[in-house]
Amino acid sequence: MIGQLLTGRYLILEKLGTGGFSETYLARDKYLPQHPLCVVKQLRLPVQSKLSIETARQLFEAEAHLLGQLGQNYAQIPTLFAYAHEQDSTYLVQEYIEGDTLAAWVNSPKPFSPKKAIALLLQLLPVLSYIHSHGVIHCDITPSNLIYRRRDSKIVLIDFGAASKTNATQQPALLGTPGYIPDEQCLGMPQISSDLYALGILMIHLLTKADPRQFKQDLISGELDWQHYLKTSLPASLMMILNRLVRSRVSDRYQDASEVLADLKQWRISQRPRPNRLRTVQKVLLPMSAALFCGALISQIPKLNQNYGEQAKSAISQLEQQIIPQTENHLTMLRELSMKSGIDRLLIAPNKQVMVSVGVDRRLQLWSLPDGKQTATLANDRVPITTLVISSDSRFLVSGREDGTLQLWDINRGRLLQQFTGHKKSVIAIAISPDLKIVTSSSKDRTVRQWNLQTGTLIRTLNSPASEVSAIAYPAISDKLITASRDRKLQVWNLRDGQVDRTFSGHTDEIVGLQIVNDHTLISFGKDRGMMWDLKRETLAQVLPEASANSILVSKCKRNIMTVHSNGSIRAWIPKDGQLVMQETGKLDNPKNVAFSPAHDYLVSWNADQRLRFWQIH
């Protein structure tokens, strides 16, 4: 199989493994841009197999059907791309999950803590609840069939080759992994609780690092005797949950994943510390006492010699860190204004000195930063403004309007310089070239037009894309242009001939924004999540986790990526060890419109309470 090109599309790279009636290979999809990796699973029955070829073919077809049913709408199950026959071979093609299986966790010398066990249960139980709600029993919940996905730290359930429908009368016996199979599954009659049994064995395997085939039934109780394999103690409630998961009798086990989740959550609530009045008093008095003490000590520092002064400052710093509680809110409000009219759009200039707003009353206004004072009203027109862009030198502002026109403004002088006409419908997106010579705009009329920034004349109209262009960006290379269209694709245009050089795909929902990070990196902001692209290698470089989806605003600077969400949370995605680590940086009160300064040191928010707020980010 290695080196074969299936159906002229899937190039087989290497063998990944062998199952009960199939072989799995890593492949590349030669049809799609960047030739992304995928997994090809070929029906192949071992010579010593007790299954008939007819039964194996039925199971293989059932696996493809289940993947098509379950993986399409659930992120923690692979998506089925194809199921086909070629010559004498039958195979299915599915999503490649980059990461390590939990088998690596089992083989790791590091102990698996109760805290990790609970976190893993909380991830896996919703997955089992999802497949069970669709009438599917996986029948092979084992470490090798669970992958820790690297890009978002989610656990993905793979290999539905042994799966059974809940209404099935019989399935071939002994499909599954020894040690993980309860009695009823050995008899060919798996139940929903059979998966929960396997889940319990999985957790015990990770906690003890002992092969489940070693576990014997107690002669008196008839239950598995696994506790003496533990090398550390477990909380009594977690022990109770694990014991109930692996009961021998089906009726004695949990019957549904939601029951396990309920017990876990109830236990976690009971573990929370109760309020302590003395501790509350300490929280109030100790910081005050510390502040007074620090103030007195600081006042004496000039009287000390330099060496002792440095020691005193160090002591004060340590004292503050130990006693004075650190705030998790990294926002400081600089100014708050009550507005009579709502605000549709906000934008902060690259120089961090000017903020632009578009009101519901269609007024285009300039504000000074960081004091938040209104400096000018540029327009008070009847035509709604649909989009804004500011030039990289913060001199020019271009506004797109619902009637298809664009207006060029001098920010420093506060006056209109040019008006661009040509679009027949509302303007969607605008970008200014790095050399400040060209303005490019897209419209609902499905055209992309380029204008001379100084004269306002139309330079050319690019070939209409398949759907409306929702975002535009200029890379450092002056003869290139990047657009995002409503069909969730990215196009790289060659401006020398006005043609599309490359098309990138990967988003599953609408792309709402583009941002050039450096000479070769682009970030696309979708309703599904953010993605970073290496323009030099023409590949997808990194995918933001799912928690970045459905954000009001996404912004990238040298330090981090920040997202603002409708619940008011601000999240900073910080690069660490090749991944993005999220931290909450503050809360806004029901934000409707938000703007970041390019370096993420200022934030302006417009809220449903009709208040415009200017913030500094620490």
Catalytic residue among 29, 88, 100, 140: 140
Identify which of 155, 141, 267 has the alpha carbon closest to the alpha carbon of residue 192.
141
Question: What's the token pair of residue 45?
Answer: 């029955």
Q: What is the distance between the alpha carbons of residues 434 and 214, in angstroms, rounded to a whole number?
A: 67
Calculate Rg over the CA atoms of the chain: 30
Q: Is 563 helix (H, G, I), strand (E, B) or coil?
A: strand
Told to judge if 589 belongs to the known catalytic residues of this protein, a careful annotator would answer: no
The helix or strand, by DSSP H or E, that contains position 141, with its residue range, turns out to be none
Per the DSSP assignment, residues forming a β-bridge with 482 are 473, 492
Question: What's the token pair of residue 213?
Answer: 């085939």
HSE toward the beta carbon, residue 180, CA cutoff 13 A: 20
Q: By CB neighbour count within 10 A (0-12 exposed, 13-18 middle, 19+ buried), where does 48 fall?
A: exposed
E strand intervals along 178-321: 216-217, 224-225
E strand intervals along 51-108: 80-86, 89-95, 99-101
Q: Is 547 helix (H, G, I), strand (E, B) or coil?
A: helix
Tell me which amino acid residue 277 is.
Answer: R
- Determine the straight-line distance between the first and last CA of the chain, rounded to whole angstroms: 56
E strand intervals along 79-233: 80-86, 89-95, 99-101, 136-137, 146-149, 155-157, 164-165, 216-217, 224-225
What residues are labeled active site?
A: 140
